[in-house]
Amino acid sequence: MRPAMLIRLALLALLVAFIVTPETFAPVFQPFTKNGAPAIYTQTSLLSLTLSHLAIVAVATVAATLFSVGLAIIVTRPFGVEFLPLSRSIANIGQTFPPVAVLALAVPMFGFGPIPTLIALFLYGLLPIFENALTGLTNLPGNVSEAARGVGMTGRQRLTQVEFPLALPVILAGVRLSVVISLATATIGSTVAAKTLGEVIIAGLLSNNTAFVLQGGLVVGVLALLIHDAFVMFERSIARRTGRLY
């Protein structure tokens, strides 16, 4: 087994151990506390916060992926080419309005809880997935597309059996970027009562407890690293199967 894989497995084991039994790691974080403050955040279970954080990111990413890939498919068909400028404007909405602004606009309409955070993450994740899907679907080898037409494939068959499988590694790269961004951005959801790891970070900032801030930040950072690497391996595996290794 390669050293890089061993490091990832060790990080995963440490992460699981920490979120399941955080009290075990109290001596590690004790030096970062002041005036006898607790070293481990216990207001809410770290395990439940982590699972809730991942669930919010997963739901927002799946929704953004379905919307963005669907939009990219439409504008790469002959009947939808004219909608490309409009689709780019839609995908750019999330980058135009910062997540904090989206939360501020969504809370009056949907109230406190996870929904404003889901909306913010959905909008913020559109652009990287859409642009990668567009790139993947428009930069296919010309001879492959011509061969598919030559054997009599319909437009739907070309899309599902040729174009989409070949574009999938590039699309997944966009999903990976969106997930990593969302993992970090989701922490602000705790400001509107969404259950995320931002709760630990905010508690640390309010109480001037660096240990709490480190705990929330490290869990989010390690999650982002592990999920990023898992996506990279998955992308390369699919790319090898399709002959488009990059």
> What angle, rounded to 10 degrees, do the helices at 114-138 and 99-110 form?
130
The 10s digit of each residue's pLDDT in 113-136 is: 999 999 999 999 999 999 999 999
| Sequence ranges of the domains in the chain | 3-242
The 10s digit of each residue's pLDDT in 169-198 is: 999 999 999 999 999 999 999 999 899 999
The 10s digit of each residue's pLDDT in 15-71 is: 999 999 999 999 999 999 988 889 999 999 999 999 999 999 999 999 999 999 999
Calculate the average pLDDT of the chain. Answer: 90
Burial of 137 (0-12, 13-18, 19+ CB in 10 A): buried
Q: Does domain 3-242 have CATH number 1.10.3720.10?
A: yes
Contact indicator for 36, 56 with CB cutoff of 8 Å:
no
Burial of 211 (0-12, 13-18, 19+ CB in 10 A): buried
Query: Full-prediction pTM beyond 0.85?
Result: yes
DSSP letter at 197 equals T
Half-sphere exposure of 117 (CA within 13 A, CB side): 28
